A and B are shown apart, each in its own frame.
Chain A
Amino acid sequence: MASLSLTVNGEKKTLDVDPDTPLLWVLRDHLEMTGTKFGCGRGLCGSCVVLSDDAPIRSCITPVGLVNGKSILTIEGLSSTRDHPVQKAWISEEVPQCGYCQSGQIMSAVALLKRVPHPTDAEINQAMGDVLCRCGTYQRIRRAIHQAAEAGGGQ
């Protein structure tokens, strides 16, 4: 056990936890923030994507010790009123089906728009290519990303 501290959605958290524990399980089981999802546990599906200092990381393969002192943004921290441009676009395009992959999709899209405010289709394929959706909501994800970009989602 070690005492770690990280900022999650703007709130400082101090944790006594094995630094090898993946960030995903720290979020879900220690901090009881279940918005970030477990899909594969091996960095292959993207359901667990969160932002660490604005960069998308796969929390299932990120030992919490590695993000000690970092600032983490999860789906719960995006906006308390669902009015982040990406969320708004997601709602207006009715992207989610089962919804399970969508936290990872949304956080990956947020990260993409921060880096590339107006991504091309090819840039979307590149950035979102390994964020899997078994329900096949991809066509809507693409439209929503373009819509969020128009609305200034990268700011």
Chain B
Amino acid sequence: MTLPMTRRGFIVITAGVGTGLVLGAYAYRTGWLKRLFSKSDPAADFSPATWIRIGKDGSVTITVAKSEMGQGIRTALPMIVAEELDADWASVRVEQALADVKYGSMSTGGSTSVRTSWEKLRKAGAAARAMLLTAAAQRWNVPPSECRTEYGTVVHSPTGRILQYGELAEEAASFPVPQNPPLKNPAEFRIIGRRIPRTDTPDKVDGHAAFGIDSRVEGMFFASVARCPVFGGTVASYDDSKARTMPGVYRIVQIDRGIAVAAKTTWQSFEARDALTVKWNDGPSASLTSRDISTMLATFATKEGAVAETRGDVEHALSGAAKRLSATFEVPFLAHATMEPMNCTAHVRKDSCEIWVPTQNAQAVQRTAAALTGLPLEQVIVHTTLLGGGFGRRSETDFVEEAVQTSRAIGAPVQVVWTREDDLQHDFYRPVSLHKLSAGLDAGGRPVAFTHRVVAPSIGAQNAPDRYTNGLDRGSVEGATEMPYDIPNVLIDYVMAQTPVPIGYWRSVFPSQTVFALESFIDELAHAAGADAFEFRRSMMDSSPKMKRVLELAADKAGWGTPPPRGKFRGIAFSPPAFFHTPVAQVAEVSVGRDGAIRVHRVVSAIDCGIAVNPTGVEAQMESGIAYGMTAALKGKITIDRGRVVQSNFDDYPLLTIGEMPAIETHIVPSTDPPTGTGEPGLPAVAPAIANAVFAATGKRLRTLPLSL
């Protein structure tokens, strides 16, 4: 076998701790990846040494540079490496990467991890495999073409001789890294596509799984921070004379975001924080209410929008249409409510800073701490712990800033722990939005014109106002643009409506709003056209065969067109590929009680996510996305009063419960295409599928979330 050997990696051999030798230790520097979801740079970091260590005992340690927040990434990514490495899965160990630029972007969000790691991890595994194979061939003095690899060994085919990877690692490490190692044909996969059990399950059933909040460091304190309840408010003055005398209290310090109380135990820090008297400068938002915000959205809806997508002549087509419809939809702010409250453990010393944190973006944590302490990046060590949920909340670094500033001020390691009240009242919320849609049908009931105006605050403009001076945030219209339907005249536009409420990424943030409006409205059009909701959609999908197949699969598996069980009604909705590149169609089976209670009994989904790296993982993500989407569809609402969040805990911000969980069936379209995202696409279609089923049951259109009759 001849391989192009271009870039000679600085492969070095390091003695591993008790595990024999380490295959390489070269770090390609990729430079800062500024964007939150940067494109992967496969050329930059496929070096096997970055991802793989092979011990003398044959153990294969695979480094995972993305954060495990429940999506099974500590299983899916190692599977990809192990596949191309031809490792024996039983010998694979998984290790979490420390923050380092050498991994490329470690940001974990947008359902991007598998999609953007796919190529570089395959190449890393394949390169290491090629090096091991070459090492064996040299040892035997035979042509590499006579050798093959399987289950962590190299086999000399003609003679049946076998060498374990562990016996070859040292030699292999001295070879140059092949630049373009051959990759397997999907038909040859024996790990990818299998239902491999998650690597993190055992520790999650016996209490050993270590989340951020479980970090324990010698000499640490626990801190609780009093923050201004009003958005944008600051500390005017505070009196800590009582708090200081409380048991266990060590120090009370002012930091950027409020007053931090450090004590010996978490409980003592909570109690002492409650004993503080703080005078706040509430600032300009002190009287803000949700009603003000709704009024603003409605007013802004009449402004001129920034055009996001246009084709044909909408105005002309509308005026010539046989039937015209319009409707307005609105969705509220939502909190993430990860089960593990925000927390961060930091130890700032004079010349270094060490952090243990459940984060979706270890590199952003590192940059944040470096900026706050003035330390060079290399002196900031960031350990990504397990995350007790992420959903976008842990892409932020506010809790990191609090821990770093507190540790620095008190001169000791500290764990800042948020209460649930802190969590719900100081989130970066899923934005509110208002959607105005209109459409024209021709005499045959076919849509000839379609408009969707999104009125919403922009996350992008909140974080970087100068990048959005033209008033268009393409993120905010994601899911509204690139509709899967063939409609000749279309106008999608956007009106930016900033508010003082902090907003951020949230599981399928934009499609969770746009698709609710779009797919509810499409249902209204179908009804107006006297057409079946499934057939109506399907008839407009001729130019998107892949999406059409997904819609058909869901309808078929759900028994669309057959009578539903007594008392139950069906609704269908489609979630376009959007940022995650993954189309999903869902059918919800719903009943409505005499008291108006909406019950969801069954949700059937079809998904085309390319190759399903781990089908069990894909199914779990669909279940999870649907449950998260159902909480948003039926319960979730953050309201603002007097400039602050009204809700405070799970009594007024309820989550879906086990008794409300429908039977969920997931059907994966078989595919040999590269894998796409699965963490989020299960969510957007849920609310419109339920709303459409409610219409089927009651004849009522619900155009506001959460749905309520």
Contact = CB atoms under 8 A, between A and B. Distances in A.
Do chains A and B interact in one complex?
yes
Interface residues of A, number: 59
B531 interface: no
A98 B70 contact: yes
A41 B386 CA distance: 21
Interface stretch (B30-38, B159-167, B209-217, B275-283): B209-217
Interface string B620-659: 1001111110000000000000000000011100011111
B389 A134 contact: yes
A139 interface: yes
A40 interface: yes
Among A41, A76, A95, A97, chain B packs the most CB atoms within 10 A around the CB of A97
Interface stretch (B107-115, B198-206, B404-412, B522-530): B198-206
Interface stretch (B5-13, B315-323, B337-345): B337-345
B254 interface: no
A130 B391 CA distance: 22
A97 B70 contact: yes
A18 B247 contact: yes
A75 interface: yes
Contacts of A79: 206
Nearest to A99: B204
A128 B420 contact: no
A46 to B, nearest CB: 10
Contacts of B702: none
A100 B339 contact: yes
Contacts of B203: 99
Nearest to B617: A94
Interface string A42-60: 1011010000000000000
A136 B247 contact: no
Contacts of A133: 339, 627, 655, 658
Given A98-B389, A139-B623, A34 B214 contact: yes
B209 A99 contact: yes
Contact of B267 (A21, A91, A95, A126): A21
B69 interface: yes
A82 B651 contact: no
Contacts of B616: 94
B419 A129 contact: no
Contact of A28 (B198, B201, B266, B388): B266
A42 B651 contact: yes
B371 interface: no
Nearest to A42: B649
A98 B265 contact: no
Contact of A129 (B206, B208, B658): B658
B255 interface: no
Interface residues of B, number: 61
Contacts of A32: 216
B420 A39 contact: yes
Interface in B306-346: 337-341
A35 B216 contact: no
A87 to B, nearest CB: 5
B657 A132 contact: yes
A22 B659 CA distance: 29
A85 B515 CA distance: 42
A14 interface: no
Nearest to A77: B207
Interface string A78-100: 11001000010011001111111
B658 A131 contact: yes
B71 interface: yes
B94 interface: no
B3 interface: no
Contacts of B623: 136-137, 139-140
Contacts of B202: 82, 91
B339 to A, nearest CB: 4
Contact of B205 (A91, A138, A142): A91
Given A40-B649, A87-B206, A135 B198 contact: no
Given A42-B651, A138-B661, A96 B204 contact: yes
Interface in B380-396: 386-391
Contacts of B72: 97
A33 interface: yes
A132 B207 contact: no
A106 interface: yes
A124 B657 CA distance: 11
Contacts of B417: 38
Contact of A100 (B340, B419, B657): B340
Given A29-B265, A36-B207, A136-B627, A129 B657 contact: yes
A120 interface: no
B339 A139 contact: no
B204 A129 contact: no
Nearest to A121: B659
Interface in B41-92: 69-72
A22, A30, A41, A128 — most chain B CB neighbours (10 Å)? A41
Nearest to A130: B657
Given A34-B214, A44-B650, A129-B659, A106 B205 contact: yes
A133 B631 CA distance: 11
Interface of B: 69-72, 197-198, 200-211, 213-214, 216, 222, 247, 264-267, 270, 337-341, 386-391, 417, 419-420, 616, 620, 623-628, 649-651, 655-659, 661, 663-664
Interface of A: 18, 21-22, 25, 28-30, 32-42, 44-45, 47, 74-76, 78-79, 82, 87, 90-91, 94-103, 106, 124-126, 128-142
List the 5 closest A-B pairs by CB distance, nearest first.
A35-B207, A136-B627, A100-B388, A98-B70, A97-B70
21 contacts: A32-B216, A37-B213, A40-B420, A41-B649, A42-B649, A44-B650, A76-B207, A76-B208, A82-B202, A94-B620, A95-B201, A95-B205, A97-B71, A98-B69, A98-B70, A98-B338, A98-B340, A99-B203, A133-B627, A133-B658, A136-B656
